Amino acid sequence: MNLEGKVVIITGASSGIGEATAMKLAQNKAKVVLMARREDRLNELKEKIESNGGHALVVTGDVTKKTDFENVVSQAKDHFGTINALVNNAGLMPLSFIMKLKTDEWDKMVDVNIKGVLNGVAAVLPTLTENKGGHIINISSTAAYKYFPGGAVYCATKAAVKMFSEGLRQELAPQYGINVTSIEPGAVSTELTDTITDEDIKEKMSDMQEMTTLEAEDIANAIYYALTQPHRVNINDVYIMPSEQQ
């Protein structure tokens, strides 16, 4: 896809990978639609993008609410005319050991990490179908393949995203011209661990801080690569890890 003038919705654009992706795509002339709940952070990003000559639209919303997604789609179309791609990036990782039974946190992960992705796909598909093509990028994780302590539920949500992406690709790419990519990052330095409440996990996390992790921009580059291939090339998976991660 030649990104110039293309309209891309990015969920979870208020920090980390989503924010870096919005910057990268806007620098390459895409019109970006920024979705997340923190309006102040989205507005700051919009200003940054616009001061570099880019185009951005802020639409606050919660990915777990279908109506919020419908609003994002309708505002994106009113403002920019259409939608060409969706980056389903919003996610949470409140890791905990199962025996702690933090079931509210399990629910949140299922709601945001899985249902949020499904809601995004459902909201954009009619427009992408109308356009006879487009691209959906889902942010999974290396956690889809590999359990790590406290990650039983998180890993399960990311495995679901990975397999959903494969089903989506098989159903959409050949018949509807909509390419689908699953990105599977290892450890990236972002705010993702801020939601962890389990003290045992927090302690383990601080042990891991010696490692040089990926930067959010590294994942933005992978997303840019997947999006900008010629239409005949579907990048199914990008599995990307810090050199020091095992």
Q: In whole angstroms, how close is the CB of 165 to ligand NDP at the nearest point?
A: 13
The active-site residue out of 154, 176, 224, 239 is 154
CB 175 within 8 Å of CB 149: no
154 in active site: yes
- The stretch near ligand NDP (CB under 6 A) out of 90-98, 125-133, 202-210, 231-239 is 90-98
Q: In whole angstroms, how close is the CB of 91 to ligand NDP at the nearest point?
A: 2
Q: How far apart are CA 51 and CA 16, in angstroms?
A: 20
Of 8, 76, 89, 196, which lies in the binding site for ligand NDP, with binding defined by CB under 6 A? 89
Closer CB to ligand NDP, 129 or 193, in the complex: 193
Of 84, 96, 127, 141, which lies in the binding site for ligand NDP, with binding defined by CB under 6 A? 141
Beta carbons within 8 Å of 21's beta carbon, 6+ residues apart: 10, 13, 87, 89, 216, 219, 220, 223, 224
Q: How far apart are CA 131 and CA 1, in angstroms?
A: 13
- The stretch near ligand NDP (CB under 6 A) out of 11-19, 25-33, 95-103, 129-137 is 11-19
**Residue 91 contacts ligand NDP per CB under 6 A:** yes
Closer CB to ligand NDP, 44 or 62, in the complex: 62
Q: In whole angstroms, how close is the CB of 117 to ligand NDP at the nearest point?
A: 9
CB 190 within 8 Å of CB 94: no
**Residue 36 contacts ligand NDP per CB under 6 A:** yes
Q: What is the DSSP string of 188-245?
A: EESSGGGG---HHHHHHHHHGGGS--EEHHHHHHHHHHHHTS-TT----EEEE--TT-
CA 231 to chain centre: 21
What is the residue whose two structure tokens read 């427009």?
127
Q: List active site positions.
A: 154
Interacting residues with ligand NDP (CB under 6 A): 11-12, 14-18, 36-38, 62-64, 89-93, 112, 139, 141, 185, 187-188, 190-192, 216
